[in-house]
Structure 1
Amino acid sequence: MALGRGAACHVRGTAGTCAASQAALCKATAGHRQLVLQLGGSGDGPWLREERRRRSAEAQELSTGLRRVLLGELRQELVSPEERRELERLWVLFLSALELFLKDLRRAHHLCQLFPAQGDGAALLHTGLGGQRGGGPAQPPAAPHLEEEIEQVRATLAEMESGANIPPWTVEATQAAGTGSTTARAAQGESHPGHCCRVL
């Protein structure tokens, strides 16, 4: 009996840690999205592109750790139904966050093709008037690291979906519309695990 209580305490601690990591991941991906939306604009340049790459690396590091812990705990047998529901809820939220992150990486790849950096590192700002200068290609290849980032996130998603059989449609919202999303709260540094959705 004592072993069961100890295991339950361990899972509660793990779920809390995972919830905090999930909030940090949402904050990192939200920051990454803001940087992606500036690509090709007047604020584009070497600093913006390096900061986007750094924020992407941070999000991928968080997702790697969170995936490993969640998958390990979901495969444990000594998990109470309540704790399993919380872990499954976090798993589905994690999938959703990574899918949005992958979408933003693809958008960044497209924008970097439209607005390639010059050889000296300065970004080009195209107004769409007068076409390309010098007769260059309409869409030069984006930086190779973006393709690597996309492939890594895509591989993580595939591993998650095959590693745990948790259909996303088993989770439903439990807060009223318009009261703010988990991602929005996480971007503001807040974390309220267990209050935005529940497992059916």
Structure 2
Amino acid sequence: MAPGRREGCRGRGAVGTCVAAQAALCKATAGHRQLVLQLGGSGDGPRLREERHRRSAEARELSTGLRRALLAGLRQARASPLERRELERLWVLFLSALELFLQDLHRAHHLCQIFSMQEGGVAPLCTGLGGWGLPGWRGGGPTQPSAAQCLEEEIEQVRAMLAEMESGANIPPWTVEATETTQPVGRGGTAAGGARAGLCPGRCCGVL
């Protein structure tokens, strides 16, 4: 294989990896948002809050990997103009996704302060539903960090990542414009199937 062709294959591989990671991140943050919206409701409880924390950790791990992959691709000296435009588009989409994720973390922090878990794992909202009290939540065990403290750490980690992204690549968000979605429409005639598969529905961005 010719050297130029090998470089092109590596570039397409980097873009493909970032596209897959972006889709996984969209799926993780969407799942996290659904859990945040249930805080303080009838389905709230230790299990939901543990699942929210797990989804948040998954989203933060995916964000770290995607940031590294995008930076590595953008710093390739031999990347073609087309490949660089696609990586820049993904970079701006990643920034937007991370900012929305940070907003959800702030919302979760606010709700957890209002509906804090009492001793025994019972939230102050009385819904008539039982089964929230779990053996591991009934005192007598080691002291665990509060939900507010954990969320403050999560918020600070995402905020620091956003600051690193802004200084790591000089890609102004206003250099992209909305374009028609490139997501293929399924046999059902809608993009809902793609959304269920973890893709971000709606319009995409193109570099100006």
Quote the residue 2:90 is aligned against.
Answer: 90
1:143 and 2:148 correspond: yes
Please report the TM-score for the alignment, with normalisation by the length of structure 2. Answer: 0.80
| Contiguous gaps of at least 5 residues in structure 2 | 128-145, 186-191
Map 1:176-191 → 2, pairs under 5 A:
187-189=195-197, 191=199
Provide runs of 4+ in structure 1 moved above 6 Å.
Answer: none
| Contiguous gaps of at least 5 residues in structure 1 | 128-140
Contact between 1:35 and 1:52, CA under 8 Å: does it hold in 2?
A: yes
| Percent of aligned pairs sharing the same letter | 74
CA RMSD of aligned residues (A): 2.4
- Do the aligned partners of residues 34 and 190 (structure 1) sit closer, same or farther apart at CA in structure 2, a change above 3 Å counting? closer
- Do the aligned partners of residues 150 and 190 (structure 1) sit closer, same or farther apart at CA in structure 2, a change above 3 Å counting? closer
Instruction: Name whichever of 154-163 and 117-126 sits farther off.
Output: 117-126
> Aligned-pair distance for 1:3?
2.5
Contact between 1:36 and 1:108, CA under 8 Å: does it hold in 2?
A: yes
Please report the TM-score for the alignment, with normalisation by the length of structure 1. Answer: 0.83
Contact between 1:27 and 1:186, CA under 8 Å: does it hold in 2?
A: no
Amino acid at match of 2:162: L
1:197 and 2:205 correspond: yes
Measured in 2, the distance between the counterparts of 1:68 and 1:76 equals: 13
State which of 157, 165, 174 in structure 2 corresponds to 1:160.
165
Quote the residue 1:64 is aligned against.
Answer: 64
- Do the aligned partners of residues 152 and 78 (structure 1) sit closer, same or farther apart at CA in structure 2, a change above 3 Å counting? same
1:7 and 2:7 correspond: yes
- Number of aligned residues: 180
Amino acid at match of 1:96: S
Measured in 2, the distance between the counterparts of 1:109 and 1:185 equals: 32
Quote the residue 2:119 is aligned against.
Answer: 119
Measured in 2, the distance between the counterparts of 1:18 and 1:81 equals: 17
Measured in 2, the distance between the counterparts of 1:142 and 1:53 equals: 9
Measured in 2, the distance between the counterparts of 1:113 and 1:186 equals: 36
Map 1:3-82 → 2, pairs under 5 A:
3-82=3-82
Contact between 2:117 and 2:124, CA under 8 Å: does it hold in 1?
A: yes
Measured in 1, the distance between the counterparts of 2:3 and 2:165 equals: 29
> Aligned-pair distance for 1:2?
2.9
Measured in 2, the distance between the counterparts of 1:190 and 1:62 equals: 13
- Listed one character per residue, the Cα deviations across residues 32-72 of structure 1 (whole Å, up to 9, x for unaligned) are 00100110111100011000000000000100000011011
Measured in 1, the distance between the counterparts of 2:193 and 2:74 equals: 26
Instruction: Name whichever of 1-10 and 11-20 sits farther off.
Output: 1-10
RCO higher in 1 or 2 (8 Å CA, sep ≥ 6)? 1
- Do the aligned partners of residues 20 and 169 (structure 1) sit closer, same or farther apart at CA in structure 2, a change above 3 Å counting? same
Measured in 2, the distance between the counterparts of 1:14 and 1:147 equals: 33
